[in-house]
Amino acid sequence: MTMTMSERLPEALKVGYRFDRGHRFDPAQVSAFAYAAGDTNPLHHDAEAAARTRFGKPIASGTHTTALLLGLAASHLSTLGQVVGVSFSTELLQPVFADEEVRLEWVITAIEAHRRNGHFLDLAGSLKGANDECRIRALGRVLFWQ
């Protein structure tokens, strides 16, 4: 069977393909993002209030950390072709502190031809802290085509 151009994937995109980037949070950014998302929880804005919690200091909101993961998938894969997100799920395993440097990563775990055009790419993602400790685990599915 001959494949058309729309059925082909870039050579790099195969099961096991990884892409990542670092990100440094800072308290002002964490607060601004949480406010923009409508999250007024003092854990993201008030160092004194956060100091009295189990975390001891401000943490980034889940919307912030997961947005960075989804943004990495979209921005990286769009350099190789056209892509839209289909579904994503996340597990917030541990807090991400408002002054922390982290690593965001995705790996392609499966590829499935779409019935009309392109391919579904299944992804496994993570956000890890300085000690390579997984703070957030994610699964995603995107539709990719050229």
CATH numbers and ranges of domains, the chain: 11-145 (3.10.129.10)
Contact 44, 60 (CB under 8 A): yes
Per-residue pLDDT for the chain (146 aa), expressed as one digit of tens each?
333 434 679 999 999 999 999 999 999 999 999 999 999 999 999 999 999 999 999 999 999 999 999 999 999 999 999 999 999 999 999 999 999 999 999 999 999 999 888 999 999 999 999 889 999 999 999 999 98
pTM of the model: 0.90
Instruction: Tell me the residue ranges of DSSP E strands in the chain.
Output: 18-24, 82-92, 101-113, 119-128, 134-145
d(CA 97, CA 19): 23
